[in-house]
Structure formats: C-alpha cells, structure tokens
Structure 1
Amino acid sequence: MKTLLGLAGTLTAFAIGSIQAAPLTATESAERDRFAAREHDWRNGAVVYQIIVDRFAPSRDLDAKRALYPAPKTLRPWSETSKPGPYLEDQKLSAHELDFWGGDLPSATAKLDHVQGLGAQVLYLNPIHLAHTNHKYDAFDFQAISPEYGTRADFKALAAEAHRRGMKVVLDGVFNHMGRNAPKFQDALANPQSRWRDWFAIGPQYRGGARVWTAFQNLPELNLENLAVRKHLWLDRDSVVRGYLRDGADGWRLDTAFELGHAYLRELTDAAHREKPGSLVVGEIVNHPAAWLKSIDAVMNFTLRDLLLGLVRGEMEPAMASRLMARLVDDAGVEPLLKSWVVIDNHDIPRIATQLPDLPQRRLAQALQFTLPGAPNLYYGVEVGMTGGADPENRGPMRWDLVRDDHPEMVWTKQLVALRQQHRALRIGDYRAIDAQRLFAFERHTDRALETRIVVANPSDQPVRERLLVRNAHLMDDTPMVDVLGLVPDSVVAGFGPGFVTVDVPPRGVLVLAPRPKDLGGYSRYKRVP
C-alpha cells in the first residue's frame, strides 16, 4: 500500500527524467497559474475534522466544573452514551438537550495530536458561545464562551496551538436565532420599550409571543433586517464574526445559512474577508447549491451527499448518478465546490456506520467522499467506527478506549487522508465525468498530465468489466494504469489508449487509477506535454 501511494509522487519525475522541460504555451501557462493559485488556498480540498466540544475529550479537572451543570442539567459519565429524553414543557426543549459530558476547550486542545495524526487540516467546532443547552444552538451571548467550555483565552490558546501545527480552525455561527432564555430576548418579550425589542419579531400573531425557528419555542429568530443586529453579528469591527477571526478563527460555518438569504450572506462573507483575507465562510445549505455559491464561499454539500448515498445504496443507476454529478459541477462551478464540505454524517445525521452497516458499501462511500471535488468532513469518532442513530444518539462521547493504531477504521481513515494528501488532482483537480453504464467513473485532472487520476466505482453486488473512454488528450497511448487506493488487491490496468481503458471492478469495489509510464531507457512520450 505504501509503495503504491508513494508511486504517484515520482511519476512526473520518472517521465521527464533529465530532459529539459518544453516551453509552455500561453494557455498552458495560464493553466499552471490557475492550479498553483488553488493549491495555495488552504480552503480547497482540505480534510475537515468536526467535534462537539462537550463530547470530544474529558475535562482534565471535571470536579472543579460540577457547579456549572445545575439541575435540570445532568452531568453524565464518559462511559454513558447519548439517549433521547422526554420533552420538558417548562424548558421548551427535550431533556437530552441538557445532558452534558464535561468536555472543554483545554481538553480539546490536548487532543490535537490525535487530529493532526489523522492528517486533518481543519478543526471545525460546533457552537462554543454562551448558551443553555449542550448543543449551544440557543445562544445567550455570541461574544461570550460558555463557562463549561472555558474562556475566550482558552479559545485563543486552542487556535494558536492548531496554527502551530499548520491547521486551521472554523467556528459555528448560529446567526438566524438565539435562545428563549437569552437576557436580550427575555427583556424584549417583557418590555415593549426594550432596546432589544426590534431585534426579534414579537407579537400576538406568533404562538408563544415571538417568531421562532421551525416551531421550536426555545429558538426565537433574530430580526436581521435591523441594521443594529447585523452590526453586532458581522459588520462592526468588534462584531462576533470579525472579533473571533482576530482571535484566531480562520472561518465560519453558518447554521441554517439559507435562512439568512442571499444579500445578508454576501454581506457577512465580505465582512469576514475584509477582516481576514482568505478566511472561509461555508453555509449549511440543504438546497441545490449553485445560486447560493454566488453569495458565500462554500456549502455543506448535501446535494452531493444524497447523490453519493443514492448511488452506493443502489437507489440510483451509475449512469444517472454520473449525469447528475456532471450537472452539479456545471451548475455550481468547480472552484466553490473544491471549498465545499463533502458530508456523509454529522451531528444532525446518523453516523455513517449506522447508515451503512455493510462494510464494503461503507468503504465505497468513503472512497468517493475523498475523491470527488470538495473538502471531506470527518465527524469525530468515524475513525474508530462509532455508531449512532438520529440526534441525540449520533452525539455520544468520543470513544477514546477504541483509539489504537491498528484499529481497522483508523487504518482506513488514515489511508484515505494520505491518498488525498499525496495526489494533487484529488485535492484541487478539475472534474470530468467518464461515460459508463454499470460503473460510476470520473476523472480528476490538473495542469500536469501524469497527475490525472481516474476513479471507477462499482456499487453493484456483481463484478463489472467495461471499456471506458477517458477524454484526456495528454494521456499517451500504451501507458499502464495502477490502482493507488489499494482497496482492490493487485489491480493494474495493462494499457491505456487510444483514449480507452478497460477495467474490471469487483462488487462494491472502487479503483483510483494513476498513469505509470513505462521505463523506456530514458525516452518519454510525455516529454513535451505539461
């Protein structure tokens, strides 16, 4: 496996040997510059590791924090999993929203070795601001950090340590609503003359007295049409968005981003870029992403998720999936898709091991997650095969007792991350569909012919042989192709050309093919192409 992965880095050097590089045309030079710019942008194709601070790592001093979890909150032992609880009418929420495990920012910082060891480049934190519940989507104060998580200084320390390791940090911005028990909202609800009254939509026409998010009485919506609200959240220099960027955050993931609307998303994104050029604003947008990507850097690509899962579950024919994927890339554009997160599971979705209990099927889905355009999102615990159904079962405490170097899921996760790190086309390459009937096939390519990678997946339960046309004019006739993923043992495609490749893919199998020029005694067919 190591030999195959290492092979890719030497292909170009082997091909040109000591031959002086041919001059580039103007078009080739522009292509080189385009891909170089992509490569220097950390947002493109990064591996994202997501954590819930309360559930990621046990506090090093839990006894000192017990007073921060007064009833009806419950502090659970780390060995206990997360389970649904009854609805609490007086709290306007469910009991499991008040179950805590005691993780905090210092304990998360202490586990950065683990995240870095997986090869992840971005740490994404679910909300950390002051709130009542464990999930923190019911903010009391966006500027303050929940005391059970730590302090603003603790966040700065985490960001500094992540940066020292070459990693970035993305925070969760919940700017569509606050919490019902937030002092601003309580004052606005009780006092018609409150300075916060027009921060919310309040009136008898609303059940409960105020407009709330999706009928959840604990989540009153913010009135973003009020300029003062937007100044507080993202426009002013000391706003939430800009202040945390100065403190070390490198970007924001926006909760229910589509509800902010195009104009405010653009305004927020521009404000973030003014504060920190090159920062990332990625939106939780479940809709088709194309139009939204004009207002924001990237999306959590749920359209791609549904397409991917439909394919691997056999709910969508490969040929149809290929057409839809090509349409998605054409509609949205590859540049923002490279920055968009490829999500299979997260805090709102059952864990992948629960969604796809069949191991070969799961391996196929994850291989596609790491080879299709975008930034793969790893939800904490996937590397040890954590299971869990719908919220809150998918939010259990991290299983550190399962973490070991030889855990099969850990080995596989590191293998996928290494594949992406060592193959430039998989991180920043363009996408081109390959026509097939029974296989899902595509090409990732850059400005360098020998960096081309051809991905061929067979979601069926039968072996498939197909002859495929690869429309890459710079892949030379009679170039062998070798599988660099290694999921299918001993897979070498004997020859390529003229433009065709014949592949044999076992059931639930996937190949990632790289060109390997023949040793022709110093001669190379690739000597005068990029």
Structure 2
Amino acid sequence: MSLKVWAGVAAAWVGVAAIAAPSVYEQREQDWRNGAVVYQVWVDRFAPAANLEAKRHLYPAPKRLRAWHELPTKGEFLPQAKVWSHEIDFWGGDIASLRGKLGYVQGLGVDVLYLNPIHLAYTNHKYDALDYQAVSPEYGTRDDVKALAADLHGRGMKLVLDGVFNHMGRNSPKFQSALADARSPYRDWFYIGPQFEKTAQARVWWGAINLPELNLENRAVRKHVFAARDSVIRSYLRDGVDGWRLDTAFEFGTTMLGQMTQAAHTEKPGSLLVGEIVNYPAGWLTAQGRQPPAADAVMNFTLRRVLLDVVERKLKPATAQRMISRMVADSGIEPLLKSWTLLDNHDLPRIASRLPDERQRRLAQVLQFTLPGSPNLWQGSEIDTLGDGDPEQRAPMRWDVVEAGHPALSFTRQLIALRKAHRALRVGDWRPIEADQLLAFERHTDRAMDTVLVLANPSAQDLTETVMVANSALMNATGFQDLLGPPPAERPHLDAGLLRLTVPAGSVRVLRPVFEPVSGYTPYKRTP
C-alpha cells in the first residue's frame, strides 16, 4: 500500500475516532459522582425498627430508648460516662428498617444514600468509634451493610458511609489499653502525656473528653485506617460501599487526605471520597503541586454560606455572583460537580428553622438544585422538619407527615425531577449572566438547547432588568420557558445576547430556551 493510501486510511480512522469520542459532558454523565442527588440518613432515627422489643437489651442504662414521636432535647453532662445525656438517647432505627424505606428514597429521585456513622460506638451519633470494622449491633452487622449496598445497586443508587478517622471513642479498647499501660501496642496510637493529665489524659478533639485524637503519623494507625488492603476504608468498599464522606477531613491535611483518596481508588476505581472541608475548597480540589488532588469532592460550606447570605439579604447578589465565579475558577468545575451542596445537616440548624420565611426557603432550595454540585438533602428537610440547634435538628423522621403529602415534599420532588430532566443542571458548566440586581447565571453544555438560565431576586421588590447572556450558541429571537413558575403573559426573548425580564420579589426564574420552527425553518439547523 502506498504512503498516500496509508495517509488516507489514517486520516479516516482519526475522523472516525473523533466522531466516536464522547464529549466531556458525556464523560461527566457516565460518572455517577457528578451532579448526583445525595440523601443523608441517621440510621437510629430514620425508620422505626420492626423488632424493637427483641433488641431493647442493646440500650442499657444510662442509655435511654425513646418513643418515635418524642423530640430530642438537650440533656445534662454525665461525668461517669463523660458524655451528655442526649448523646445516649436512642430511637431504635436500624439498617433493616432503613431497607424497608428504600422505595421512598428511590421515589424521591435520589442517586446516593449517605449514612451517618454506623460503626460500633457508645453514643447515638457514633462519632466516638470503639471499633471501625464492626457495625453497632443496634444497627445490624457487616452483612446488613452488604445487603443494603446490594439493594441500592439494584435500584440504581449508590452507598456512601461516614468515616470518622480523626478521633475514636474514649471507651475504645485500644484507647483504654493505651491509657492503662505505657507498654501497650496502642500507646502510640493516641497523644498521651503528662500535659493532658488535668483534662482528658490525652489530646482530644475540640475539648470533648470522649473523643481522643488518633495519631495518624503512626504507620500502624494509617495501615488500620486506609493504607493496608484489610484497612477500614478498603474493606468496606469491597463489601459493596461506593464511597466515603470523611469527618473533619480538613484536619488530615492535603497530603494525608490525598493518600486516603488514592487508597479508596486503588480498591475501587471510580469510588467517591468527599471531605468535610469547611475551608475555602480550591486547595483541596486542585493539584496545587501534587498529583492527584487531596479529595474527589468537598462538602461545599463556602457555597452554602454564599447561598444563604444572599437569600437572607446579607450579601448583594452581584457580590455573591463574583464569589461563586471565583470559587469555580479556583476549584475547577469537575470536582465541584462532585461536591455536595448542603443547606443543613445533623450539625446545623434545619433549613426550615434557619429560613422560616417560605419564599426565602424555596429560593434557597432552587439555588441548591441549580448551582454546580450535588445537592445534599438531610432526612426530613424535604418535609420542612424543624430544629434550631443540637440536638433538636436530629429529630426522628416524621412518616405521618410524609403520608399526609406535605407541600414541601412535592416541591422537593419537583426540584429533583428538574435536575434529572435537564442535563446542564447535572453536568453543565457555569457562566455568570451580567446583571445588576439579580443573582444570575447559566448552566450550559455543548448543546445550545440544553442551556438553563437561573435568575434569582432575593429582594423584597419585583425587579425588571436587562441582562446579558454571553452564550454565542443561543440564536437571536430565542424565547424562554419558565421551568418552575406558571407561563408568563409574554415569553422573554433574546435580542442580540440581551434579555429583559421581570423577576418577582423573593423568587427565582429558571428558564430554558425554546425555538419553535416556522414552516420547518429554525436557525439552529447547524448548531448542536
């Protein structure tokens, strides 16, 4: 075959490869971690156990087993147990009862189920591990975790666990051994010394004497937690778990957090490691001179603060827009799509208590579901559960409210369905819309008609404004349909990249482009 013919064949193959190669957006869609809807569950308080009497012995005094209708209230400090009494109040939920409610979770449209800690621990919150490799018997066993993962996978969902590896519980046999014997093999697993004798006898997390910190500089500790094949992180992934949310991940530092992420990926490529990072996220999500980044994703507290401040009118919309643009530029869109966008969780006031004004609350929720990221719902927030501080925000799930058909539940389902119906909201890029008084942005892909425009007005007055949509693929005279509100009297149209529209006070318009062909004609005939 001549050189000329070979060149022609090669060119043809290159052309075929170029046609067949998936776009960056198609690649994002193939990764379950991008833009997923995450639902957070506290096993003890999600669904009542069917066999509560049979396991009542698992809650010996001073622990208390509460009735499902009771609300958590702040208790008193118990010197002997070294915990607060409300930390050992239980409602009796378990993994079996959770599995019985997976139909509800699936019906919401959830992609990922995230569980608060389930490992063996003394308290109800389980952030004081006694043994990472064991599941608390009140919840079940490792086999129950495997069954839960299998159930979720059969429903097209994933399972993420909460890993608490910065500290263990004071009652841990390892810590008790280390405390009692200077020659214990676990002595160097913790920070024990005379400087701590007047307080907790060891270095503890934020002064909580029940939470002695682990010495992660100790090679044996790292092997136990993540470095060895039989480590905690890797062994649960082999059980079917799909990822980890790491508690207080900012305390690991970028190097060690990166090692944990790599360990998870070694065991299960494509698994998720999301860090509870309250810091500005960029340095944890980009390489910063190291390969790879420290974590796949973060719990995006920076975005949460910007979102809530603008909704509460503490931050000007234009300033909020600049902050988000800076964060996207610094962090990169890819890890932000995997990062969790939260309004509340077990540590924070419920969104219905933080934003009692329904218009503000609904505005915040729309932004949560339209900004780049993975919306993270805390159980019960979809029915406007109240709770303004610890432990009130940790109330058991109100199934009677679910069955009654709460309007907030319908709104949440609408938002989840909106994301699932619009590719740009799940995996699209971010671009600010030039506006003066609105928080305005677009989510876009390589297809013009995928574009979604979001224009939020947190003020107390209706606003009419001309904004610039800097999307060259959108053709002149393209109209826009509101995906949430009723059809307006007149559909706004793009005029040379500018759009004039009214956004009512305390509301948000979510728009998609619509161009109805005229006698078969459309200017989009050669535009993807």
TM-score normalized by structure 1? 0.93
Measured after TM superposition, the shift of residue 518 of structure 1 is 2.1
Q: Provide the residue aligned with 2:7 in structure 1.
A: none
Question: Residue 504 in 1 paired to residue 502 in 2?
Answer: yes
Q: In 2 relative to 1, CA 248–477 (structure 1 residues): closer, same or farther, beyond 3 Å?
A: same
Q: Which aligned pairs between 1:165-244 and structure 2 lie closer than 5 A?
A: 165-206=155-196, 207-244=199-236
> 2:400, 2:15 → 1: CA distance?
56
SS at match of 2:465: strand
Contact 2:492 2:501 in 1 (8 A): no
Contact 1:425 1:446 in 2 (8 A): yes
Match of 1:67 among 31, 42, 57: 57
> 2:247, 2:31 → 1: CA distance?
24
TM-score normalized by structure 2? 0.94
Q: Provide the residue aligned with 1:316 in structure 2.
A: 315
Contact 1:350 1:394 in 2 (8 A): yes
Contact 2:166 2:251 in 1 (8 A): yes
Measured after TM superposition, the shift of residue 445 of structure 1 is 0.2
> 2:119, 2:151 → 1: CA distance?
20
Q: Kindly provide the amino acid, as one letter, of the partner of residue 297 in structure 2.
A: A
Measured after TM superposition, the shift of residue 492 of structure 1 is 5.4
- C-alpha deviations, 1:261-314, integer Å up to 9, x for none? 111111010010011110000000000000011200000000000000000000
Q: Provide the residue aligned with 2:288 in structure 1.
A: none
Q: In 2 relative to 1, CA 314–236 (structure 1 residues): closer, same or farther, beyond 3 Å?
A: same
Measured after TM superposition, the shift of residue 30 of structure 1 is 10
Q: Provide the residue aligned with 1:43 in structure 2.
A: 33
Match of 2:255 among 260, 263, 268: 263
Q: Provide the residue aligned with 1:5 in structure 2.
A: none
> 2:57, 2:452 → 1: CA distance?
55
Q: Provide the residue aligned with 1:433 in structure 2.
A: 432
Q: Which aligned pairs between 1:219-368 and structure 2 lie closer than 5 A?
A: 219-293=211-285, 294-368=293-367
Q: In 2 relative to 1, CA 276–492 (structure 1 residues): closer, same or farther, beyond 3 Å?
A: farther
Q: Which ranges in structure 2 are unaligned for 5 or more consecutive residues?
A: 1-13, 286-292
- C-alpha deviations, 1:99-142, integer Å up to 9, x for none? 00000000001100000000001000000000000000000000
> 1:410, 1:475 → 2: CA distance?
34
Measured after TM superposition, the shift of residue 29 of structure 1 is 6.7
Q: Provide the residue aligned with 1:372 in structure 2.
A: 371
> 2:489, 2:275 → 1: CA distance?
39
**Worse-matched range after superposition: 88-97 or 241-250:** 88-97
Q: Provide the residue aligned with 2:475 in structure 1.
A: 476
Contact 1:482 1:492 in 2 (8 A): no
Match of 2:118 among 123, 128, 134: 128
Contact 2:44 2:139 in 1 (8 A): yes
**Worse-matched range after superposition: 401-410 or 230-239:** 401-410
Contact 1:482 1:491 in 2 (8 A): no
- Runs of 4+ in structure 1 off by over 2 angstroms are 28-32, 488-494
Contact 2:451 2:512 in 1 (8 A): yes
Question: Residue 150 in 1 paired to residue 110 in 2?
Answer: no
Measured after TM superposition, the shift of residue 404 of structure 1 is 2.9
Q: Kindly provide the amino acid, as one letter, of the partner of residue 223 in structure 1.
A: N
Question: Residue 78 in 1 paired to residue 84 in 2?
Answer: no
Q: Provide the residue aligned with 2:444 in structure 1.
A: 445
Contact 2:481 2:487 in 1 (8 A): no
> 1:269, 1:227 → 2: CA distance?
17
Q: In 2 relative to 1, CA 517–81 (structure 1 residues): closer, same or farther, beyond 3 Å?
A: same
Q: Provide the residue aligned with 1:522 in structure 2.
A: 520
Equivalences, count: 506
Q: Which ranges in structure 1 are unaligned for 5 or more consecutive residues?
A: 1-23
> 1:401, 1:408 → 2: CA distance?
14
> 2:47, 2:257 → 1: CA distance?
33
> 1:198, 1:377 → 2: CA distance?
37
Measured after TM superposition, the shift of residue 491 of structure 1 is 6.8
- C-alpha deviations, 1:340-369, integer Å up to 9, x for none? 000100000011100001001100000000
> 1:332, 1:144 → 2: CA distance?
36
SS at match of 1:103: coil
Q: Which has the higher contact order (CA 8 A, sep 6+)?
A: 1
**Identity of paired residues, percent?**
60
Measured after TM superposition, the shift of residue 335 of structure 1 is 0.5
> 1:492, 1:211 → 2: CA distance?
65
SS at match of 2:167: coil
